[in-house]
Structure 1
Amino acid sequence: MKETPVGVTDADVLAAVREHWLVDAVGVTHLPLGFGAHHWRADAEAGPALFVTLDGLGPRHSLSSLHSAYAGAAALAAAGLEFVVATLPPYVVAFGDGALSVTPWLSGPAVGAGAVLDPEGDAARLRRLHASVPGPIPVWAPLVAPDFATSLRPRLASPWETGPYGPAARAALIGRLDELERWTAAYHRLAAEARRRPWVPTHGEPHTRNQVRLPDGRVVLVDWESLKLAPRERDLRGIVDAGRADLVDPDGAMLELFDLEWRLDEISQYAVWFASPHTGTDSDEVAFGGLIEELDRP
């Protein structure tokens, strides 16, 4: 997130880092990175040491599910998947209303949006991940309820005078209600089909924003909170979008399932966001752009 979390100070984060991971940490610095979680750099005397993440808890993540995902990623790394950057024990700790975790600080840059995609490298890493035998990890289930679109209708009946983006967000959603109903019905039909497919360990979001290029040129995958058993197409959208479906031979129905999941989950979260009070922060601007993109893209 771009802004610091309300009610959390750097001193709070530093105290937790010292208690659970790095007793001689000398300071933390909030990093305006990513979207959905908050991040800090934790420094030791010698310099940056840890990358700290504060995840929110709720329908998407519980303390238990995050622990299972992070511990599962650590097991995959220990089993020889060197591209897995896993969190450090005790993996995740309760922190206010959320959950705090850390990974080693990486000196390389994020591959990032707009970078040259390496579909061959991505496909090779994902083949190894999908062929691995994990320990206990979370199991995928649909993120958006079957009644999402119908339950949204009454919430749109009254004006959203909730902040600068409320009226425009409401109008955009009203204009796509019929499509939302069709997308939701298709999503749950395909989710039922998924039960008849092979399920493997999947990262969930192995796109370039979750890839870091190390000084030696190797690319590693970070952000394993969404590690789940699922059809492998959950991880394949980027490779297919790069025009290299030949590298992964995807199941078209499962690709559609997870494309719909991304769209509907984003729209669902942004609908809650803009139906609630907001002030027009940088994060609000990013969220509104994300809502319009998911409503309007092909």
Structure 2
Amino acid sequence: MDVVGWVRDEFALELSEVDEVPYGADLRARLWRGATGDGARYAVKLSGGGTPAGLIVSAYLAERGVPGIAAPVRTRDGLLFAERDGYRLSVVPWASDWRALDGPMTEAHWRAYGELLAAVHAVPVTDELERLLPGGGDAYPSIVAATRDVAGRLRDRADHGDPLVAELVATWAAHGDRVSTLLGGVERLAADRSGPAVVCHGDPHLGNLLLGPDGQVWLIDWDDAVLAPRECDLMFVVGGVLAFAPITAEQEKAALAGYGTVDIDAVRLAWFLAVRALDDLSDWTRQALDPSGSPDDRARAARIVRGLVSPVGLITLADIALRDLDGRR
């Protein structure tokens, strides 16, 4: 596919350089860093699934003056994306090469991160957003079903000739009690997780955060945007996981100082944390089991599974949050 020509035809941009970027977990998308002759740089994304809701949300947030949002470049016809042969092409200004995942984040970055989330959560929810965005956590029944399906597949594996499969079988067996706790907690607390819905990014981990000088930050990749209680995003800040390691007390303090005064509901926080933990565990395990995947991709997925069940991983933290919740009742 001639992406350079497509960008020229639809967005009136002449890219002189295009380099594919290997980041991201969306197997249906490809991302390039493109540059024009005058040095301007852009993130060029080709999507083969999902919806354009994330582009609509980020454009809306940028128009409302929310800091740290890169507004999509519009096509010659004023649209947020172009479509061709079942694919969607979007172009966004390239904000920074400095990923928060690679660090280090200063106290000013953490504070700006909190300010950004607060500004997102404060925007009015329009009728269009209500139509476009799913409710945060609404997919939990399918996540529960997928987790049970993967658990069953691993229990039934008799042939452990594949060392990676053998490792996954052992991992799920060793952590089966915690997985069961999360499954039970998600189903038991589902009715208690509702609350005032705001616009949420849905996935504001460090891999989706870019850094700049003087504490500047940008939150990118709005494909998972939802309408949900603010805990859907704040679970990444309050005792949550941002990059396969718990946020420290100092980092949490700085982020919440930027966010401002907020009454965080412990039930909603634990519920969203547990749903995310199960979704990550089942999805990455499926990718590690997929025989059609490359050895490198399967090995990476298995490493992520190991991180999820580690003493500082998301499965562990979600399990602790649910048990702490039970202890309060």
Q: TM-score, normalised by structure 2?
A: 0.73
Q: Does 1:142 find its partner at 2:139?
A: yes
Instruction: Give the C-alpha shift of residue 52 in structure 1.
Output: 1.8
Residues 171-224 of structure 1, C-alpha deviations (whole Å, 9 max, x = no match)? 3223333432321221233332122x1111111222333222335652222111
1:82 alignment counterpart = 67
Which one of 99, 117, 124 corresponds to residue 115 of structure 2?
Answer: 124
Structure 1 moving runs of 4+ over 6 Å: 160-163
Which one of 210, 213, 216 corresponds to residue 218 of structure 1?
Answer: 216
Identity of aligned residues (%): 25
Instruction: Give the C-alpha shift of residue 41 in structure 1.
Output: 0.9
- Quick one: distance in 2 between partners of 1:287 and 1:95? 31
Instruction: Give the C-alpha shift of residue 168 in structure 1.
Output: 1.7
Q: TM-score, normalised by structure 1?
A: 0.80
Task: Summarize the Cα distance change of 1:225–1:153 in structure 2 as closer, same or farther, 3 Å threshold.
Answer: closer
SS, match of residue 66 in structure 2: coil
SS, match of residue 239 in structure 1: coil
- Quick one: distance in 2 between partners of 1:203 and 1:123? 13
Report the residue type matching 2:170 in the other structure: A
1:200–1:230 CA contact under 8 A, matched in 2: yes
Task: Summarize the Cα distance change of 1:229–1:160 in structure 2 as closer, same or farther, 3 Å threshold.
Answer: farther
- Quick one: distance in 2 between partners of 1:181 and 1:148? 13
1:162–1:274 CA contact under 8 A, matched in 2: no
Q: Does 1:101 find its partner at 2:86?
A: no
| Equivalences for residues 168-207 of structure 1 within 5 A | 168-195=167-194, 197-207=195-205
Task: Summarize the Cα distance change of 1:98–1:189 in structure 2 as closer, same or farther, 3 Å threshold.
Answer: farther
Q: How many positions carry a matched residue from both structures?
A: 279
Residues 34-81 of structure 1, C-alpha deviations (whole Å, 9 max, x = no match)? 333532111222235211234453xxxx23xxx122112201110111
Task: Summarize the Cα distance change of 1:55–1:183 in structure 2 as closer, same or farther, 3 Å threshold.
Answer: farther
Q: Does 1:53 find its partner at 2:45?
A: yes
Q: Does 1:13 find its partner at 2:22?
A: no
SS, match of residue 69 in structure 2: coil
1:30–1:40 CA contact under 8 A, matched in 2: yes
2:307 alignment counterpart = 293
2:4–2:14 CA contact under 8 A, matched in 1: no
2:325 alignment counterpart = none
SS, match of residue 47 in structure 1: coil
- Quick one: distance in 2 between partners of 1:12 and 1:68? 25
- Quick one: distance in 2 between partners of 1:205 and 1:287? 18
Report the residue type matching 1:44 in the other structure: T
- Quick one: distance in 2 between partners of 1:201 and 1:160? 46
2:56 alignment counterpart = 71
Report the residue type matching 2:66 in the other structure: L
SS, match of residue 80 in structure 1: coil
- Which segment is superposed worse, 238-247 or 204-213? 238-247
1:117–1:208 CA contact under 8 A, matched in 2: no
The structure that is helix-richer by fraction is: 2
SS, match of residue 2 in structure 2: helix
1:7 alignment counterpart = none
- Quick one: distance in 1 between partners of 2:159 and 2:103? 34
SS, match of residue 33 in structure 2: strand
SS, match of residue 220 in structure 1: strand
Structure 1 unmatched runs, 5+ = 1-10
Task: Summarize the Cα distance change of 1:47–1:211 in structure 2 as closer, same or farther, 3 Å threshold.
Answer: same
Instruction: Give the C-alpha shift of residue 20 in structure 1.
Output: 2.8
Q: Does 1:269 find its partner at 2:261?
A: no
Indicate the RMSD between aligned Cα atoms, in angstroms. 2.8
Instruction: Give the C-alpha shift of residue 162 in structure 1.
Output: 9.3
